Structure 1
Amino acid sequence: MEIRSAKISDAEELLSIYAPYVIDTAITFEYDVPTTEEFRERIENTLKKYPYLCAVENGKILGYAYATTFKERAAYQWSVELSIYVEKKARRQGVGRKLYEVLEKELKKSGISNLYACIAVPVQEADEYLNFDSENFHARLGFKKVGTFTKCARKFGRFYSMIWMEKFI
């Protein structure tokens, strides 16, 4: 598996990974799948300042991860928010771990010290749209839970909470 920088031309393939998360899960609180053009713009805007990485095997993108601005004010410039999405068939095969390992190295080289992950979690037990896998994944990689926003989002006719996790690199 190769980890490489995303290209604008990857937008359609990356969107095919992201779309099921929008349609079938509460992992993202986005209701509508973005257009390919909108996704291209997201990639392009991220790459202006931060890494946007793809995991590729046999010419197929298995997942992607990127960093974005944590907060706009200059004092936050050493902190970033991370996002990661892995093709359903490629989950639990080390793709996410490898993406984050490379992403962390690149961010550390650029002077970033604080990583944040904003993660959707079920209000009570896991349901058909959301479980605790993302929280557990981040915990295994050394992220610590630092806050909870209870029932802050609604999707599929039910409320979900959001947690923030952080890691210092």
Structure 2
Amino acid sequence: MIVREATEADASDLAAIYRDAVLHGFGTFEEEPPTAVDMDARRRAVQDEGLPYLVAEVDGRVLGFAYAGPFRPRAAYRYTLEDSVYVSPDAKGQGVGRAVLSGVIAACEALGVRQLMAVIGDTQNAGSIGLHKALGFEQTGVGRSVGFKHGRWVDIVHMQKALNGGDTRAPDGPGVTLTGH
């Protein structure tokens, strides 16, 4: 398995993987799948901020992706990012999510990020919750019935991982400066 930066050539694969999550899952609260063009614009927006957007590829096929984006737009959040991770339905349970999310975590550490957040759709999303827990995230809360999708109310699970010493000392540098915010 190769973990690498996503490129424009991956747009169709990103859209296909995300489309499944939109149409059949609760990991995202989007209800209309974005096009490959939309997904590529999203990828570029993340990478243009200097943030990681990674894919896992096996035999030339993209099986999953993960990225880190702004947690909130206010300046005080500049040391905190939020991760997202999606895996092709036929590749779940094969280490794809772990590979791309581990790469995102390492990239965030290199950027000097102090907290990495995960906002996971659905308290029943055992795969994503288990993946984050296995990589050192701790559950910090649950938002009850904050979304309505596929005919039911859906919770969100908040998880958090401290990086680079977390809150044990003052930040070393300027944090992540986002031009789009």
Identify whether the pair has TM-score above 0.5, normalized to the shorter chain: yes
Deviations 1:23-62 (A, max 9, x none): 1112211110112221111011011121100111111111
Which residue does 1:150 correspond to in 2?
144
Q: Choose from 154, 157, 162 the match for 1:163.
A: 157
Aligned to 1:117: 118
Structure 1 stretches of 5 or more lacking a match?
none
Partner of 1:21: 21
* AA partner of residue 33 (structure 1): P
Query: For residue 41 of structure 2, what is the amino acid of its counterpart?
Result: E
The separation in 2 between residues aligned to 1:13 and 1:35, in whole angstroms, is 11
Q: Separation in 2 of the partners of 1:101 and 1:23?
A: 26
Match of 2:95 in 1: 94
- Using the TM superposition, give the Cα deviation of residue 133 of structure 1 relative to its aligned residue in structure 2, in angstroms: 2.1
Q: Aligned with 1:93: secondary structure?
A: coil
Aligned to 2:127: 133
Farther off after superposition, 110-119 or 135-144: 135-144
Structure 2 residue matching 1:163: 3-state secondary structure? strand
Q: Is 1:45 matched up with 2:40?
A: no
Cα distance between partner residues in 1 of 2:7 and 2:37? 13
**Secondary structure of 1:166's partner?**
strand
- C-alpha deviation, 1:9, in angstroms: 2.3
Distance 2:107 2:133 in 1: 20
SS of the aligned residue for 2:72 comes to coil
Instruction: Find the aligned partners of 1:48 and 1:5 in 2 and give their Cα distance.
Output: 12
CA distance in 2, matches of 1:33, 1:21: 9
1:136-168: per-residue Cα shift (whole Å, max 9, x none)?
221121111112111010011110111110001
Alignment RMSD: 1.2
SS in 1 for 2:122: strand
Q: How many residues align?
A: 162
Q: Does the Cα contact within 8 Å between 2:14 and 2:36 map onto a contact in 1?
A: no
TM-score w.r.t. structure 2 length? 0.85
1:83 equivalent to 2:84? Answer yes
